[in-house]
Amino acid sequence: MKNIKKILIGVMAINLLFVYGCGKNAKKEGVKTEKIVVVRTVELKKMELSKRIEVGAEAKPFKEVVQITETGGDVKKVDTINGRWVKEGETIVELENTQIEASYMQAKAAYLNAKANYERTEKFAKDQLLNRLAQARFALTSAKMNLEKVTKGARQEDLDRATYGVETAKKNYEVMKSTYEKNKKLYEKKLISEQAFLNIENGYKSSENGYKSAKKGLELLKKGAQVEDRNTLKEAVKNAEDGYNLTKKMVDGKSWKYDIQAAKSGYIQAEAMYKLAKKNYNDLTVKAKISGVVINLDLKEKNRVNPMTPLFRIVNNDDMVLEVGLAESEIEGVQKFNKVRVKVKAVNSEYEGQVYEINPAADPKTKKFKVKIKFKNVGHKIKKGMFANAIILAGKHEALVVPKAATVVENLSTYIFKEEENRAEKIKVKLGDSNDRYQEIISDNISEGDKIIVEGQFILNDKDKVKEVK
């Protein structure tokens, strides 16, 4: 820069001497002469430049979470303060909610019952059904024997067998009755399926009929059968046959599989309800979802907070992000992981970042494509809301370039001077991309190889006569 200033001063001095000399000779000769400005030029050339897109936006933390209570409740304890760094999973606020706690305990109990029922059904459903078939077969055989005995007349050994049959049927009936009563309570609480309960109820009724039939048969053997008694025994045989056939049909159709499926369905439903209740219960202890700094925490113990109330925010500014909008003409060549230079004037620092995300669809209102830029907040100097300027380097292209010093700004427009036939032509140009030394210029009035004035241009006017020095 110092060398350029020295050259400019030298050129101006030469120009002054040159103009003074010309003026002196003109006075002597009495002839009006034209000013000649000494300049230096370079050829306009093409160069490969990186496409540079300059944008600005407010810096935001890359990670920021608003923590909301879905359940609500009373504040039991506040475990931290604003501005404190917390780790992910650390407890921030503890809430109390008796309704949530009760729902959790009820859901847990229902889940454990449903799980036990499913496991029991899966393990024993088949054996229970086969056992019922055996009982139905025994009831049918007993009914037939009773009918046969009363028809033929009773002997002592028949009475003994009938007595034994009554005792066996009674024990079976008592076991089935106890099982029925227990499962009826579970069914009323919807802890077992309807199908499973109906199977147990059918078994209970079958055992009851078998017991009654055995008792009736014994009574008839003892006192002798009448016509109506024989009819009763015939009806008992018919009922026993129906019960046996139904149970056999269920065994042949492997109906225990449906019992298992129904129990499993109830278990899955209870598990889902339990998980939801457990989540709500655990959410009463509000923990940090990310590591970062706590802000906007304004709670006091015993305060009541309603469901869906924001409790606090956590900001992690290890990484920052800029969200910018690029026009159609700018988005071409911008790709994920393109390098970005980020300058934050407030902290007088420059950072290196990259394109993190590109929305492939333009915003319907602005017609711009949203691009997110991510960069490291080295030293944590940058705060949320600080303004940042970013330069996105998006691919390379060939451009006509001149040294940056060749451009002249006048009335908010940019010009260059082209030397042609010892005259300076003032040309308005549009600026394109640039690097540390060279600037792309765009105009229909320039082409590769043109001589562009790079020294002396600041004292030139359009059409001034010039003399080029090497």
Please report, for the chain, the start and end positions of each structural domain, with discontinuous segments joined by +. 1-38, 102-277
The phi, psi pair for 142, rounded to 5°, reads -65, -45
Which helix (H) or strand (E) segment holds residue 49: the answer is strand 45-58
Establish how many alpha carbons lie within 13 A of residue 284's alpha carbon, considering only the half-sphere containing its beta carbon: 21
pLDDT tens, position by position, 313-341: 999 999 999 999 999 888 888 989 999 99
| pLDDT of residue 91 exceeding 90 | yes
Tell me if 87 sits within 8 A of 288, measured CB to CB: yes
Cα 309 to chain centroid distance, Å, stands at 21
- pLDDT exceeds cutoff 50 at 23: no
What pLDDT is stored for residue 153 in this prediction?
55
Residue 142: CB atoms within 10 Å: 24
- List pLDDT tens digits, range 221-264: 666 545 556 677 788 888 888 888 988 898 898 988 988 998 99
For residue 405, give the 3-state DSSP assignment.
helix
- Residues comprising the chain, all counted: 470
Query: Tens digits of per-residue pLDDT, 151-202?
Result: 665 566 666 777 888 888 888 888 888 888 888 888 787 777 777 777 788 8
Contact status, residue 393 vs residue 51, Cβ threshold 8 Å: yes
d(CA 357, CA 58): 17
pLDDT value of position 209? 82
Residues 331, 333, 337, 340: is their CA dihedral positive or negative? negative
Quote the tokens at residue 18.
């040159």
**Residue that is written with structure tokens 């048969």 in the block:** 217
Q: Is a pLDDT exceeding 60 seen at residue 61?
A: yes
pLDDT at 5: 47
pLDDT in tens, 366-407: 999 999 999 999 988 999 899 999 999 887 778 899 999 899
Confidence band (pLDDT; 50, 70, 90) for 65?
A: very high
